[in-house]
A and B are shown apart, each in its own frame.
Chain A
Amino acid sequence: MSARLEGWGRLIDRSEPLTYSFNGRDLRGYRGDTLASALLAAGQVMQGRSFKYHRPRGPVAAGAEEPNALVNLGQGARFEPDQRATTTELFEGLVAESQNHWPSLDFDVGVVNNALARFLPAGFYNKTFMAPRGAWKHVFEPAIRQSAGLGRAPKAADADRYEHLYAHYDVVVVGGGVAGLTAARAAATSGLRVLVMEQAPHWGGRAPVDGGEIDRLDPEGWVRNVVEELEKAKNVTLRRRMMAAGVYDHGYLIGYERVADHTPLDGRPRHRLWRIRAGRIVTATGAIERPLAFAGNDVPGVMLASAMRDYLVNWGAAVGRRVVVVTNNDDAYRTALAMHEAGREVAAVLDARPLVTGALATRVREAGIRVLEGRAIAKVHGRKGVTGVAVTAQAGAGGAVEEIGCDAVAMSGGWSPVVHLWSHCGGKLVWDEAQALFRPDPSRPPTGADGEGFVVTAGAASGALTLAGALADGHDAGKAAAKAMGGKVTRKAAPKAEPEEAQPILPVWIMPAEAGPELKAKMWLDFQNDVKVSDVELAAREGYESVEHTKRYTTLGMATDQGKLSNINGLAVLSQALGQDIPATGTTTFRPPYTPISMASIAGEARGELFQPLRRSPIHDWHEANGAHWEPVGHWRRPYTYPRGAETLAEAVNREVNNTRANVGLLDASTLGKIVVKGPDAGRFLDMMYTNVMSSLPVGKCRYGLMCSENGFLIDDGVVARLAEDTWLCHTTTGGADRIHGHMEDWLQCEWWDWKVYTANLTEQFAQIGVVGPKARAVLEALGGMDLSKEALPFMHWAEGELAGIPARVFRISFSGELSYEIAVPAGRGRELWDRLVEAGEAHGVMPYGTEALHVMRAEKGFIMIGDETDGTVIPQDLGLNWAISKKKEDFLGKRAQERPHMADPERWKLIGLETLDGSVIPDGAYIVADGVNENGQRNTQGRVTSTYFSPTLGRGIAMALLHRGPERMGEEVEIPVLGAGKAPIRARVVETCFFDKPGAKQDV
């Protein structure tokens, strides 16, 4: 049954029919349709079911505020749930399904919730928590999860492309209706850079639908002229299909451009996120009509009067053949006139106002339409569609005075300015008693870096609801914005429209005024979340006096529409229930985004390989070519191990450890942080940075050092080499290089700025290779170059020279307990040195080893690892590192903190080694339990495992752990539970942390 009317539909192009599918049914629409208008024109009024009660629902609005008509859109990798049919432009081949129903839209099992409605009042969700513990987990949660929820989550990765764009404008006008265009035109005459965005695909907003004359032109013609003029202006950028999602600090504005939603697969990015810095923002965002709260106001076919008019005028889709209009203000009379003109029967206009005198009402009466004064709807008849209304007196309790048969109802409860963008960054509102609406208070705008307001409202968004008023206000707003940015506006006068003679609105929050509980339980405030007048009143009775609490308790104003239709009505009902004025109740907080934006647009191009930059060592390609299994370390990738043939990772690690201990291994240590600290005061500075003394280190020697935060906790460690009288090289952990460099700079710049010290992070300037194992010296000697004998370069010394013709700095330091050289060469020659080492090492059985073998070997030696043994709560004293804390120095970062009683407390958990009795490996992150249970019935703990490995050298599991008074408990057995039902706990003996070569004989040869 087509409801498309000839001669109507200014936005559709009848020469371009389109085929689309809804719930598997192929349907026809036109270019210019929205999915909602096409469905309405096809006679499909019911387009979804509600969230909680699964009630049949049709569109109630025609734009971004739509709460009901949400669909699953697209398929596979282009599937997206919760898309508003009212803002989805139709395209050839569009596929949509309605949501929240099973097995079908027409017949839904979940509607049983509707029958149970009196058992599911406001806060029922919270109340279920009060039942016995098991009931939530086994009864309520599964049932709620099954029946509630909106669309399905997509399963496939998004196939489309998205991008970000950065832009700067002097003035940004949000909204391309007549007020926004007027503001833009005024601002543009100043020559400043102006951006105008409109969320819909067309300019002009409501004016072409609502009628009137602007500068003696019909609004449509006037809009066309002004847009043409703005298009010609070089300083103006115009964008349609672009919504301002949010206004943030200092004029930051997010624009969400739906570039190709309506032209899929045309190669353009689907969405573009504009990250805009605006000098001034003009919000010409219009107003949204409010529903009226009467029983059955959610039946498909009941819709906002403005929406019914939009569907007719914009898309030629007539909702209903016999219509009842119900209102408390003049505007809905426009709908009655339009429907009448389109040849539809308007059965009556029910006006809650006792006496109706406005000019529009006169025209309606003259058209022969009944206007019933002081009347209201007591009840809408029908379930999946309207069959009629019971008419009552607004002043009464709902006794029907007349039944009127009809198949659609147009309702208007007045208009609310769209104040979201004004409010996002702190703009305040004022209650306008005469118009019964909240509007921006121009004296309390959101303020920017200069302390001045940076948002100006224009038109209906200011509360200027008439055409003439909106034009004047828009002109002033554009002028003010340009002037604030130092622009000179040359256009003097605002466009003119005839003033309208309007009768004031009568605020109506409940219809009829004295309705009883029976009716109130059927009056919907929030359609999307199924919140009714009775729910808000219940919340008030239960003590929810704050509008923010009521929102969360009842879910009023939540979910994808964020209460665009329900907020004002809801807080008005709450105010009535609490017996206070509306301003005393206030509004909930408006938060971005204005309407939901796609997650993919937020990600933009930062996905896959572009998600994060990857840092590669100069030897990366060799690792890749030789089968490295990668491990992410910060932004670096480091080889974890190099499995050969059919080896498992664990087998590869064991082989690498054994070979390094028996022959020689190569480690790419290039990622290690390398910070040069230089200057006359460098020694003094490092004595503050490290817990031990670095100023006394002789040139040519290396020293292991610890860094603590000012709060006393260990933050990094590494070997420091003194390069020259005034120069030190500080090695940091791989992940710590940037952080520690920043830490040094912080203290240098902000505390000791008069000290003569310079730091440079040279991490990427050098490649560094560890040559480790008993045959390390033999391999290096084969390269030819500097003398690396024990006498020439003893343990913990460094020397500079040449190796294989490459300038090198060689450090004799060991993180494995083996004879070990770390060789730093210019980054560009790192690969060359590595290749030469592989060649020269062949005769000595050289193998590369990865980070896991490095970890195992350091754990065998009892060396700590930042991030394993430390977690931001550990001090060096916990780790038995007192030897590295100077007692002589007056001061260093963390010294005062470590003097606090709890830091010096002998009861702290301290580092020890653990040897499992059966040789097994303790799981990562395991806890050591103590006797008894805590107040939650959980086992008490006395320690936790920080590092645990299989040691191929010892052929058994080894671990380090922080244990209560650990070092005093050598030889004691402890118990470590293992996760998993029926698994026996592991028993382990407390031993020293060094498991291998305690005297250090192997490294000092």
Chain B
Amino acid sequence: MLTLECPYCGIKADETELAPGGEAHLKRQGPGASDEEFEGYMFARANPKGVHFERWRHAMGCGKWFLAARDTVTLEVYGTYPAQTAAPPKALMEKIEKRQSDRGGK
């Protein structure tokens, strides 16, 4: 059972307080999108063995949606950040890169 820190209220929340929301940073495809674009948006999801950017809602807490970068194999949480962004923060991406190169070097 995971613990994730809610970036809004700062609470280290147990998974029972949270509701999962699947892959983060999807680009919405509405009317005018091709069948392929819409299918990709609606159904095709990343299932990486490694870093996954995902949506969580602090459902039993402040009610806010936030995003998390989590390793699906090691369960390491590289960080959580507010949902109001189209891409992960730069500092987080650098941290992930560094952690991965450190591990590769071990």
Q: Which residues of A contact B (CB under 8 A)?
A: 248-252, 277, 447-451, 710-711, 742, 745-746, 749-751, 753, 890-891, 895-897, 899-900
Contact = CB atoms under 8 A, between A and B. Distances in A.
A897 B42 contact: yes
A249 B71 contact: no
Contacts of A895: 30-31
A897 B39 CA distance: 9
A895 B99 CA distance: 43
Nearest to A446: B75
Given A451-B71, A753-B83, A896-B31, A746 B65 contact: yes
B29 A250 contact: no
B31 A447 contact: no
Q: Which 6 A-B pairs have the closest CB atoms?
A: A451-B76, A753-B84, A447-B74, A252-B1, A749-B65, A750-B83
Given A742-B59, A753-B84, A449 B38 contact: no
A451 B74 CA distance: 6
Interface in B7-55: 14-15, 19, 21, 28-33, 35, 38, 42, 55
Given A447-B75, A746-B57, A749-B64, A900 B35 contact: yes
B1 A248 contact: yes
A899 to B, nearest CB: 7
26 contacts: A249-B2, A249-B15, A252-B1, A277-B3, A277-B14, A447-B74, A447-B76, A448-B75, A448-B76, A450-B76, A451-B103, A710-B42, A745-B57, A745-B63, A745-B65, A749-B64, A749-B83, A750-B21, A750-B65, A750-B83, A753-B84, A895-B31, A896-B33, A897-B38, A897-B42, A900-B38
Contacts of A899: 31
Given A742-B59, A753-B83, A896 B74 contact: no
Given A750-B55, A890-B31, A896 B65 contact: no
Given A896-B33, A896-B38, A749 B75 contact: no
Given A891-B30, A895-B30, A900-B38, 12 more contacts: A249-B1, A249-B75, A250-B2, A448-B76, A449-B77, A711-B42, A750-B21, A890-B31, A895-B31, A896-B30, A897-B38, A897-B42
Interface residues of B, number: 31
B100 to A, nearest CB: 10
A248 B103 CA distance: 23
A449 B3 contact: yes
Contacts of A252: 1
Contacts of A249: 1-2, 15, 75
Contact of A250 (B63, B64, B75, B84): B75
Contacts, number: 68
A753 B59 CA distance: 18
A401 B54 CA distance: 69
Q: Which of A249, A451, A746 has the most CB of B within 10 A?
A: A451
A895 B71 CA distance: 35
Contact of B1 (A250, A749, A890): A250
Contacts of B84: 749-750, 753
Nearest to B66: A749
A449 B15 CA distance: 13
Contacts of A753: 83-84
Nearest to B63: A745
Nearest to A750: B83
A169 to B, nearest CB: 14
A426 B76 CA distance: 13
Contacts of A751: 28
Contacts of B21: 746, 750
Nearest to A277: B3
Contact of B99 (A448, A449, A451, A890): A451
Interface string B86-106: 000000000000010001000
Contacts of B33: 896
Contacts of A749: 64-65, 83-84
B31 A891 contact: yes
A969 B32 CA distance: 34
Contacts of B76: 447-451
Contacts of A750: 21, 55, 65, 83-84
A372 B63 CA distance: 73
B94 to A, nearest CB: 16
Contacts of A900: 35, 38
A772 to B, nearest CB: 35
B105 to A, nearest CB: 14
A895 B19 CA distance: 26
A252 B14 CA distance: 10
B84 to A, nearest CB: 4
Contacts of B29: 896
A721 to B, nearest CB: 24
Contacts of A710: 42
Contacts of B1: 248-250, 252
Nearest to B15: A249
A250 B3 contact: yes
Contacts of A711: 42
Contacts of A742: 19, 57, 59
B14 to A, nearest CB: 8
A897 B33 CA distance: 10
Contacts of B38: 896-897, 900
A148 B75 CA distance: 41
Nearest to A451: B76
A895 B15 CA distance: 34
A711 B39 CA distance: 10
Nearest to A749: B65
A141 B6 CA distance: 53
Q: Which of A277, A750, A896 has the most CB of B within 10 A?
A: A750
Contacts of B75: 249-250, 447-449
A962 to B, nearest CB: 24
A875 to B, nearest CB: 15
A745 B66 CA distance: 12
Nearest to B24: A750
A899 B42 CA distance: 14
Contacts of B59: 742
A829 B75 CA distance: 51
Contacts of A891: 30-31
A98 B64 CA distance: 55
A277 B17 CA distance: 15
B68 to A, nearest CB: 10
A780 B55 CA distance: 49
B51 to A, nearest CB: 11
Contacts of A250: 1-3, 75
A745 B65 CA distance: 8
A365 B59 CA distance: 70
Q: Which of B1, B2, B14 has the most CB of A within 10 A?
A: B1
A250 B33 CA distance: 41
A746 B1 CA distance: 23
Nearest to A901: B35
Q: Which of B15, B32, B65, B83 has the most CB of A within 10 A?
A: B65
B69 to A, nearest CB: 12
